[in-house]
Amino acid sequence: MRGIYLHGFASSARSSKARTFADRLAPYDIVLEALDFNQPSFETLTITRMIEHAVRAIDGGSEPVALIGSSLGAFVAVHVAAQRAAVEKLVLLAPALDFAETRMRDLGDDAIARWRETGLLDVFHYGFGRLAQVGYALYEDAARYDAFGLELTQPMLVFQGTRDAVVNPAVARKFASTRTNVTLRLLDDDHQLLSSMPDIWEETRVFLGLPARP
């Protein structure tokens, strides 16, 4: 089995969650491939580019894949899974499954109008530790994608913090409510889910079919 990690918006392949999963999977001789969606440029980021990046990574191997997606990375993960049968399981962390419909529009009409006019939006990039600019193409492109309209058969394990101020927990509840292949775990945590990582790993280990000790 291959493990591929998809980080969130304005994050990086070296995030604390990516490192945690990599450390936990290493004793099982599973090298977690954490993709860097900031390349070649954060400014030119689009959902399409992220999906194509992940699809290329999957096509570069022959083993079945477990996708682990965080926030926007989870939104990308479900779209990738819809395109590639090699994706056998998905683990979604605080999934921004409403990214196209709600998350972008949360900026407000005035901010979106300025973004469209200038072509760039200033955001704090947690991976870079500073402000960075992202192009308006991200907003336009995101409108092409609807996570709730996908027909997915792969087993999915979803972790959602009940105190998440970035992604409304109702989004995960809605996504899971009509899908028998989705297991939803609601946690007393925020968007980062950092305090819940020991429990998240243990459930993920069982979900992936890994023994208690490698």
Residue 58 · residue 84 · CB < 8 Å: yes
- Check residue 140 and give its pLDDT: 93
Q: What is the mean pLDDT of residues 84-88?
A: 97
* pTM for this entry: 0.96
Output helix, strand, coil percentages for the chain, rounded to the nearest 5. 45, 20, 35
pLDDT tens digits along 150-177? 999 999 999 999 999 999 999 999 999 9
Q: What is the mean pLDDT of residues 47-73?
A: 97
Q: What is the mean pLDDT of residues 36-46?
A: 97
Cβ-based neighbour number of residue 102 at 10 Å: 13
Joined together, the tokens standing for residue 133 give 């600019």
**DSSP per-residue codes, 99-118:** IIIIITGGG-HHHHHHHHHH
- Check residue 78 and give its pLDDT: 98
Confidence of residue 29 (pLDDT cuts 50, 70, 90): very high
SS3 of residue 178 by DSSP = coil
* Residue 205: pLDDT over 90: yes
Q: What is the mean pLDDT of residues 28-41?
A: 97
* Residue 186: pLDDT over 80: yes
* Residue 102: pLDDT over 80: no
* Residue 108: pLDDT over 90: no
Q: Which residue has the tokens 């962390």?
A: 93
**Mean pLDDT of all residues belonging to the chain:** 96
- Check residue 104 and give its pLDDT: 75
Q: What is the mean pLDDT of residues 175-201?
A: 97
Calculate what percentage of the chain has a pLDDT beyond 70.
100
* Residue 105: pLDDT over 80: no
Which one-letter amino acid corresponds to residue 102? T
pLDDT tens digits along 132-156? 999 999 999 999 999 999 999 999 9
- Check residue 12 and give its pLDDT: 97
* Residue 52: pLDDT over 90: yes
